[in-house]
Structure 1
Amino acid sequence: VNTIGNLFLLGDELEDLSQLEGKKILSAGENATPMYVLNLLLKDLDVDVSYLPSHADVVAAASEAQADYYVLPEPFVSLFKNKVGETWSLDLAQVYEEKTSYPLTMGVIVTTQSKLDEKKKDIEKFLDDYRASVARVLSEPEASAELIADYGIIENAALAKAAIAGSGLAFESPREMKEAIEAYFELLMAENPQSIGGELPGEDFYGDY
Structure 2
Amino acid sequence: MKKIVSVILMLVLCMSFITGCQNDSNSNSTNNASTEDESATTNKIAINVAALKGPTAIGMVQIMKNAKAGTALNDYEFTIAGTADEFTTDLIKGDVQIAAIPCNLAANLYNKSAGKVKIIGINTLGVLYILQTGDSIKSIQDLKGKTIYTTGKGTTPEYTLDYLLKSAGLNPEKDVTIEFKSEATEVAAMLATSPNAIAMLPQPYATTVMMQNQNIKIALDVTEQWEKYAGKNSTVVTGVVAVNSDFADKNPQAVQQFIKEYKESVLYVNANVDSAAQLVEDFDIFKATVAKRAIPYCNITFIDGSEMKTKVSTYLKVIFDQNPASIGGVMPADDFYK
Give the structure-1-normalised TM-score: 0.91
Provide the C-alpha distance between the structure 2 equivalents of 1:77 and 1:4, rounded to a whole number of angstroms: 15
2:269 maps to which of 134, 137, 148? 137
How many percent identity over aligned positions? Answer: 29
Counterpart pick for 1:191 among 322, 326, 330: 322
Distance in 2 between the 1:26 and 1:67 partners? 11
Asked if the contact 1:24/1:67 (under 8 Å) is kept, the reply is no
Which residue of 42, 46, 58 maps to 2:165?
42
Q: Does residue 7 in structure 1 map to residue 128 in structure 2? A: yes
Q: Is the 8 A contact 2:191 2:216 kept in 1?
A: no
Matched with 1:33 is 156
Bigger mean CA offset, 73-82 vs 108-117: 108-117
Q: Distance in 1 between matches of 2:251 and 2:282?
A: 32
State the superposition RMSD in angstroms: 1.7
Letter in 2 for 1:103: T
SS in 2 for 1:19: helix
Equivalent of 1:96, from 213, 221, 226?
A: 226
Task: Please give the per-residue CA displacement for 1:144-183, whole angstroms capped at 9, x wherever unaligned.
Answer: 112222333222x332111101111010114213232122
Q: Which residue of 2 aligns with 1:82?
A: 211
State the AA in 2 paired with 1:100: A
Corresponding residue of 2:197: 68
- Equivalent position amino acid for 2:246 in 1: S
| Of 271, 274, 291, the match for 1:160 | 291
Q: Which moved further from structure 2: 33-42 or 66-75?
A: 66-75
* Structure 1 stretches of 4+ moved >4 Å: none
1:182 to 313, 316, 324: 313
Task: Give the equivalent residue in structure 2 for 1:148.
Answer: 280
Whether the aligned pair in 2 keeps the contact of 1:25 and 1:67 (CA below 8 Å) is no
Q: In structure 2, do the counterparts of structure 1 residues 189 and 41 end up closer, same or farther at CA, with 3 Å as the change threshold?
A: same
Matches within 5 A, 1:108-119: 108-119=240-251
**Matched position secondary structure for 2:301:** coil
Amino acid at match of 2:326: S
Distance 1:87 1:195 in 2: 31
Q: What whole-Å deviation, never above 9, does each CA across 1:69-95 have from its counterpart, x for those lacking one?
A: 011111101110111225331110110
Query: SS in structure 2 opposite 1:50?
Result: strand
Displacement of 1:200: 0.9
- Residue matched to 2:182: 53
What is the aligned partner in structure 2 of residue 16 from structure 1?
139
Distance in 1 (alpha carbons) for counterparts of 2:299 and 2:333: 26
Per-residue deviation at 1:25?
0.5
How many residues are treated as equivalent by the alignment? 206
How far residue 131 of structure 1 moved from its aligned partner, in angstroms, is 1.3
- Aligned equivalents of 1:60, 1:174: Cα separation in 2: 42
Considering fraction of residues, name the structure with more strand. Answer: 2
Q: Tell me, yes or no, if the aligned pair for 1:3 and 1:170 is still in contact at 8 Å.
A: yes
For the residue of structure 1 that corresponds to 2:303, the secondary structure is: coil
The yes-or-no answer on 1:126 pairing with 2:262 is no
Structure exhibiting the larger radius of gyration computed from Cα positions: 2
Structure 1: 5+ residue stretches without partners? none
User: What amino acid does structure 2 have at the position aligned with 1:76?
Assistant: Y
Distance 2:291 2:285 in 1: 8
Per-residue displacement from partner, 1:118-162 (whole Å, max 9, x unpaired)?
Answer: 22222222221111111100011111112222333222x332111
CA distance in 2, matches of 1:85, 1:120: 48
What are the superposed Cα offsets for residues 40-65 of structure 1, whole Å, 9 maximum, x if unpaired?
Answer: 11124211111111223222332322
Summarize the Cα distance change of 1:72–1:47 in structure 2 as closer, same or farther, 3 Å threshold.
same
